[in-house]
A = this chain, B = another copy of it.
Amino acid sequence: MQTACESVAAYAARAQAVLPPEIWHYLDSASGAGHTRRDNEAAFDAIPLMPRPLADVRGGHTQLALFGRPLAHPFLLAPIAYQRLFHEQAEVGSAMAAEAQQATMVVSSLASQPLADITATGVDAWFQLYWQAGRDATLALLRKAEAAGAQAIVFTVDAPVKHATLALPAGVRAVNLGPDPAVPAIGPGQSAVFDQWMMLAPRRDDLAWLRDQTRLPLLVKGLLHVDDAAHAVAVGCDGLVVSNHGGRVLDGTPTSIATLQRFRKVLPASVPLLLDSGIRSGMDAFKALALGANAVLVGRPAIWGLAAAGPLGVAHVLRLLRDELEMTMALASCARIADIPSNYEPFANEE
């Protein structure tokens, strides 16, 4: 058996080596020229870290509570579709790893394995919900997630129209969804965007309706304008996942970390903000927490681990990220998550 990789970057390299090129490209690519994807990461790099040696951080830990439940650490597995593309153990493998590392897994609407099989691993699972073209089908999917034991719902709103960027191989499909929705026919002069796909997209009143359908915590993922975020909170949503979809939907959007800072400035401190898009290290996670995030979602790095080494790879990536976060906390004299300032200013007290 292969030895474990030594870093998250090494898992990326091994994943690229073992995946068929078109699958790697699908995983690695972003929309447009990829500016948003690169900007997400560069924005983290531009934030300085300020070590504070000689502090007493003995007995520190990374525990926190979210929606009333204790978490061992602030890393969640981001919802990634069709994980059978990357490894035969797929979502179940990711779930086993998350369970072993005490991580919550956000299961995609487009999971390639049955929800029940995933939650049977014992993992703490949230469910990522895509609108299903109408209220009935959406409600049916929500109920299926609740029945499988999902502990929270993450409603993704930034990708109303899917572009197929990969022809799915035989046997890989979204097994938890009902039949494809009927797409309205359009005539000459009509628009596939405005008269077809957007007819099936959720709207503001659908969000308010959805809020009323479940007692689970409801988070909205993919809002980037503060007015939209404030509206989601106003209609009763419990939290937000700050995300630009890893740069996969619209190239040129604001970065995830800049959006987090804008949201945190405006929203009540009691509203949990989870950051998705761009986390590549425990140092990045520290920066996100220090700029207002309550927790972070890990997307591509976890899949690098899955592709490279199956469940063990995912677990090791999570362990590497946890270790880096702990080390960064220790170097920054933060023994607990609450010690990390929520409005990070590395040069405060100067001038």
Chain A residues with a Cβ under 8 A of chain B? 9, 32-33, 35, 45, 47-62, 72, 157-158, 160-161, 189, 191-195, 197-199, 201-204, 206-207, 222-228, 249-254, 262, 266, 281, 283, 323, 326-331, 335, 346-347, 349-350
Contacts and interface: CB of A to CB of B under 8 A. Distances in A.
Given A51-B222, A250-B331, 17 more contacts: A32-B283, A33-B45, A50-B224, A50-B225, A50-B253, A53-B160, A54-B203, A54-B204, A54-B206, A55-B204, A59-B195, A62-B191, A160-B330, A161-B327, A194-B326, A198-B330, A226-B350
How many monomers of this protein are in the complex?
A: 4
A32 B194 CA distance: 43
Contacts of A323: 192-193
A53 B222 contact: yes
B283 A51 contact: no
A227 B51 CA distance: 12
Given A195-B58, A330-B198, A350-B266, A53 B254 contact: no
A346 to B, nearest CB: 7
Contacts of A266: 350
B346 A254 contact: yes
Given A350-B226, A350-B266, A193 B253 contact: no
A250 B157 contact: no
Contacts of A45: 33, 35, 252
Contact of A193 (B47, B201, B207, B326): B326
A29 to B, nearest CB: 11
Contact of A47 (B48, B53, B252): B252
Given A32-B283, A35-B45, A281-B32, A193 B327 contact: yes
A304 to B, nearest CB: 15
A33 B59 CA distance: 29
Contact of A161 (B47, B203, B330, B350): B330
A157 B54 contact: yes
User: Considering residues A45, A51, A158, A326, which has the most beta carbons from chain B within 10 angstroms of its beta carbon?
Assistant: A51
Given A45-B35, A194-B330, A330-B193, A228 B60 contact: no
A288 to B, nearest CB: 13
A3 B283 CA distance: 45
A57 B194 CA distance: 6
